[in-house]
Amino acid sequence: MNRQRTFGQYRSIDLTILLIVQVASQFVIHFAATVLYTDQLYVVSPVAAVAALVMMRWNGWAAIHILLGGVLYALMAGGNWQHILIYGGGNLLALIALLMLNYVGKERIRKDGLLTMLYALLTQLLMQVGRSVVAAVLGFPAGALLGFLTTDLLSGLFSMVILWSIRRVDGLFEDQKQYLLRIAREQKNERGEQF
């Protein structure tokens, strides 16, 4: 029996797989930073890269990955409730990057390496600004606000490299509704040519 998945099932499976990838990579990076390379000043986070990828694929559904990525990051760092709020809630400002996807166009961003990297950097910067805003609302001093803006800069570079690398993989860095429609058209054309 050939049972096809619904679009909602496909989306749920895809979002779950990407969340597992994000969580696993966060644990690996945390382990490396706390056990293997304890003297390093900077740590990279996969949250912005995964968030940018999920926004490209599923738009606002990326809020799940953005929020959970921030909460997990704060918990693994031993943060208190304020840090959980700063990283979880502050990261949500990255959803503003959806405006770039809509204004510039997903396909144009996917095809242009420079636009891909700018989109990745924008996602990371919005997360950092969001954290600073939440920290300011919670009454953190100016020095701490500057820290929330600067400590994750390496993650921005990491996100740029990741998205630039995956943008050429067919269907990976692409709106999934458009991707599935394109695949269906291609399959229909192939079947039509066989007859």
SS (H, E, C) 120-150: HHHHHHHHHHHHHHHHHHCCCCHHHHHHHHH
pLDDT at 60: 97
Give just the sign of the alpha carbon dihedral 175, 118, 20, 70. Answer: negative
pLDDT at 188: 85
Backbone angles phi, psi at 48, to 5 degrees: -65, -40
| Spatial contact of 117 and 164, defined as CB atoms under 8 Å apart | yes
pLDDT at 68: 98
pLDDT at 26: 95
Backbone angles phi, psi at 53, to 5 degrees: -65, -45
pLDDT at 54: 98
Task: Walk along the chain (195 residues) in steps of 10 and give the mean pLDDT of each run.
Answer: 82 98 94 77 86 98 98 93 96 98 97 97 96 95 84 90 95 95 88 61
Token duo for residue 90: 């502050």
Alpha carbon distance 128, 131 (integer Å): 5
Please spell the DSSP secondary structure of 10-77, one letter per residue: HHHHHHHHHHHHHHHHHHHHHHIIIII-TT-S----SHHHHHHHHHHHHGGGHHHHHHHHHHHHHHHT
- N-terminal to C-terminal alpha carbon distance within the chain: 24
pLDDT at 169: 95
pLDDT at 195: 46
Q: What is the pTM of this model?
A: 0.91
Helix axes 113-137, 142-150, angle to 10 degrees: 160
